[in-house]
Amino acid sequence: MIGLIDYGMGNLHSVAKALEKVGGKVDLVKDADAIKNYERIVLPGVGAFRDCMQTLRETGMADALTATIATGTPFLGICLGMQVLMTRSYEFGVHAGLGLIEGEVKAFPDLLIEQGFKIPHMGWNDVVLPQGNEHIVLKNTAGQQVYYVHSYYCAPRNPEHLLAACSYGSYPFAAAVGKDNILGVQFHPEKSQQAGLSLLEGFIGWKP
């Protein structure tokens, strides 16, 4: 059973339907105490990092997620759900994240706007995996186009935690980060057609 975290800031319906389409059984989880009962956890998210972290802390979900992940439960963070894994974000100030992966969440540079690229980065783009060392959940997205919507990007401190990359214009950013039983993707699998469904199917079968 997959616990899909409902904290008021995620595209829950679409994520749940996509997980169910590839064989997942999904519960929406609003109670922090229930998080530990699930075999897998998915944290979606859209919106501001600050508001997300405030809600996760106030509801007790931040502590519950950290504790459950520490037991080895497979975890998938989507878009903002990936960004909150990091140490801190510079979106609308400086705000602490869950700190499960060392690194920062930064804004795309103004240089991109000067070059004619719009912020947010929105639409179809690549997933580039390290050749010969593809993460088992991500491997079917290699060379595929997936759907992104974001103005900020993750910069993990440890290169080993960068599981996939992409570039907006000439500017590289993390398409996926992770370690151990933790995986985060900047793109939206639920909007990424077959490539996204393949990723979610891989997550359901993942045994880190």
pLDDT digits (tens, 9 = 90+) for 170-188: 899 999 999 999 999 999 9
Strand partners, 89: 95, 105
Taken in order 64, 6, 76, 124, the sign of the CA dihedral is: negative
Cβ atoms of 42 and 78 closer than 8 Å: yes
Where residue 123 falls (left for φ over 0; alpha for ψ -120 to 50; beta otherwise) is left
Q: How confident is the model at residue 133 (pLDDT cuts 50, 70, 90)?
A: confident
Whole-number average pLDDT of the chain: 95
Q: How confident is the model at residue 46 (pLDDT cuts 50, 70, 90)?
A: confident
Q: How confident is the model at residue 111 (pLDDT cuts 50, 70, 90)?
A: confident
Read off the pLDDT of each residue in 90-115 and give the average, rounded to a whole number. Answer: 94
Cβ atoms of 139 and 185 closer than 8 Å: no
Which positions are annotated as active-site residues?
79, 188, 190
Give the model confidence (pLDDT) of 61-94 as tens digits. Answer: 999 999 999 999 999 999 999 999 999 999 999 9
pLDDT at 188: 97
187-to-142, 178, 179 alpha-carbon distances in Å: 13, 14, 18
> May I ask the CATH architecture of the domain 2-205?
3-Layer(aba) Sandwich (3.40)
Would you say residue 31 has pLDDT above 80? yes
DSSP string for 34-68: GGGG-SEEEE---S-HHHHHHHHHHTTHHHHHHHH
**Token pair 């903002």 is at which residue?**
80
Prediction pTM value: 0.96
SS3 percent helix, strand, coil of the chain, rounded to 5, is 30, 30, 35
Read off the pLDDT of each residue in 23-33 and give the average, rounded to a whole number. Answer: 95
How far apart are the C-alpha atoms of 84 and 192, rounded to whole Å? 21
Any alpha helices (H) in 103-168, and if so which ranges? Answer: 110-114
pLDDT at 39: 97
Would you say residue 161 has pLDDT above 80? yes
How far apart are the C-alpha atoms of 29 and 38, rounded to whole Å? 10
How far apart are the C-alpha atoms of 34 and 141, rounded to whole Å? 32
